[in-house]
Amino acid sequence: MIISAQTVRTAANPAERIDPVIRQIRDIVYQVSGIYQLEEKLYLLNDGCQRRMKPLNVRTPSEYWNYLHAHSNRDPEIRQLLNEITIGETCLFRSPAQLDALRKVILPEFAAERTKQATKRLRVCSAGCSTGEEPYTLAIVLMEELQSRLKGWDVEINATDLNDRSIEAAKIGTYGGYALRNTTDLHKRKYFSPIVEGKLQVRPEVKKLVRFDRLNLQDDSKMLFMKGMDIIFCCNVLIYFDGASKSRAVNHFFSNLNFGGYLFLGTSESLLNLNDKFHLVHFPGAIAYWKPSLRSEKL
């Protein structure tokens, strides 16, 4: 999982003037990648554009807009620009509104639907899990639920990433203050063990819930074997894919989800027109894509 640089950089001087063309560039980025840069974070896009303009020998945002608009190399360039405005850093409990939606709306919905099933199972996927912050967050949330609402349930989190080194680091599960900045003291005490000064390691009982695998989301043959998911988190990963690959991955997500399942993307990401079978649904502070249940009139 990769987060936007906006979360770790300090805000620019609000008086700093942004060239209006940057807003037009924001629109192009949104149309191509589904990433929307909020007004208050436009300075990050501005900085990113300035950095990209230099190697291209482009002098003004207008010229750069022309490049992004009409140049034959526009798609790779937009991905380069996205690389400039995002960085490979994240933390546990990164998106509280998504976790609230999971705990307060989705899990009660699943629990109500599955009361009559003999084996109650929940399968969650963290696609593009980087160094494990997201799947361990989900594991902690679900462990709390296993003591109440999901008592007796069989819960499994499949976490995947393309990068072997990330997977190895994720399996070790050691985090410092920055990655743990959103983690409460109670959660730290309950689900982590101190190892060296300032570092905590995820406890074995949390690790037990998570299975890590190397997976390329563009590998069709392997994606076909990820069936039966109830919830997929794929936050800020698809932005690095070109249109066709993104579309393929999203279609795999749709077919791999159970009916009634949910796909969560990053907080400023959208599927745009990649898949019209998903329903866009709002929860307080969060949006998700829902694969309607079988009884839905749309299917």
Partner 1 sequence: MKAGSNAIIQERVKGIETTPSTPAVLMPLLQLLNAPGDEVELDEIVRLASYDNTIAGQCLRAAGSPLFGLAKSPDSVKGAVISLGLRRVQTILLTCCLGRAFPTRKWPIHPTAFWRHSLGCALACRKLSEKLGSRDVEKSYTAGLLHDIGLLVNCLAFPDEFMMAVQKACEEQIPLDEAELETMGFTHCETGRALGEKWKLADDLVEVIAHHHAVERAEAAQPLVAIVHLGDLICRMRGLDYGYYERHKVDLPEDPAWKVLLKEHRELEGLDLVRFTFEMDESIEQIHELVSTVFGAPVGAS
Residue with tokens 């819960």: 155
- We find the least distance from the C-beta atom of residue 280 to partner 1, in angstroms, to be 6
The values of phi and psi at residue 76, to 5°, are -60, -35
Q: Are the CB atoms for 248 and 220 separated by under 8 Å?
A: yes
- We find the least distance from the C-beta atom of residue 55 to partner 1, in angstroms, to be 30
> Distance (Å, rounded) from C-alpha 33 to C-alpha 270?
8
39-98 residues in contact with partner 1 (CB under 8 A) are 39-40
| Near partner 1 by CB under 8 A: residue from 7, 36, 63, 146 | 36
168 is an interface residue for partner 1 by CB under 8 A: no
| Near partner 1 by CB under 8 A: residue from 196, 284, 294, 295 | 284
Judged by beta carbon, residue 23 or residue 51, the one nearer partner 1 is 23
- We find the least distance from the C-beta atom of residue 72 to partner 1, in angstroms, to be 27
Query: How many residues make up the chain in this entry?
Result: 299
> Distance (Å, rounded) from C-alpha 128 to C-alpha 236?
8
| Near partner 1 by CB under 8 A: residue from 28, 53, 56, 105 | 105
A 10 A CB-CB count for 57 gives 7
19 is an interface residue for partner 1 by CB under 8 A: no
| Structure-derived torsion over alpha carbons of residues 275, 82, 44, 58, reported in degrees to the nearest 10 | -130
- We find the least distance from the C-beta atom of residue 86 to partner 1, in angstroms, to be 17
Judged by beta carbon, residue 204 or residue 284, the one nearer partner 1 is 284
Q: At what angle do helices 21-33 and 74-85 cross, to 10 degrees?
A: 100
| Near partner 1 by CB under 8 A: residue from 9, 60, 73, 108 | 108
- We find the least distance from the C-beta atom of residue 227 to partner 1, in angstroms, to be 24
- We find the least distance from the C-beta atom of residue 210 to partner 1, in angstroms, to be 26
Size of the site for partner 1 (CB under 8 A): 25
H helices within the chain, ranges in order? 21-33, 42-56, 61-70, 74-85, 96-100, 107-113, 133-146, 164-172, 185-191, 204-207, 220-223, 243-256
Residue with tokens 């022309």: 66
Q: Are the CB atoms for 136 and 92 separated by under 8 Å?
A: yes
| Near partner 1 by CB under 8 A: residue from 17, 165, 282, 295 | 282
104 is an interface residue for partner 1 by CB under 8 A: yes
| Near partner 1 by CB under 8 A: residue from 30, 89, 121, 293 | 30
Residue with tokens 């819930």: 209
> Distance (Å, rounded) from C-alpha 133 to C-alpha 88?
12
- We find the least distance from the C-beta atom of residue 268 to partner 1, in angstroms, to be 7
268 is an interface residue for partner 1 by CB under 8 A: yes
- We find the least distance from the C-beta atom of residue 194 to partner 1, in angstroms, to be 33
Q: Are the CB atoms for 125 and 231 separated by under 8 Å?
A: yes
Which residues of the shown chain bind partner 1 in the complex (CB under 8 A)? 30, 34, 36, 38-40, 100, 104-106, 108-109, 268, 270-272, 279-285, 287, 290
